[in-house]
Amino acid sequence: MAEHISRKELKQDKIKETIEHGAEAVLSHGQFAGIVIAVVLAIAIGYGGWHLYIDRQTAQPIPRIQTNPYTRTKGRALRMPSTSSSS
């Protein structure tokens, strides 16, 4: 014949199983949440790093182009130096 289990023992087993199941669920979901957070964090760092890189590339000084001093007129008519010599 089957062993007789008292109500007290039956309740303790159910409580124990419930606690074990809860702990397994927390660990299982905790690992999943950790993976999701790690992926989101990696994407955010990559996105931020890319924008920082692009901003620094566009913020570099543009080299000045040497201009001919005779072409800077500031709204005046362009005057070329005279080539005739008055001797």
17-73 pLDDT, tens per residue?
888 888 888 888 888 888 989 999 999 999 999 999 988 888 766 666 666 666 555
CB 70 within 8 A of CB 81: yes
pLDDT recorded at residue 44: 97
Domain ranges in the chain are 7-60
Position 5, amino acid: I
Average pLDDT in the chain: 77
pLDDT recorded at residue 52: 92
CB neighbours (10 Å) of residue 75? 4
CB 70 within 8 A of CB 80: yes
Against a cut of 0.75, is the pTM above it? Answer: no
Which residues touch 81 (CB under 8 Å, ≥6 apart)? 70
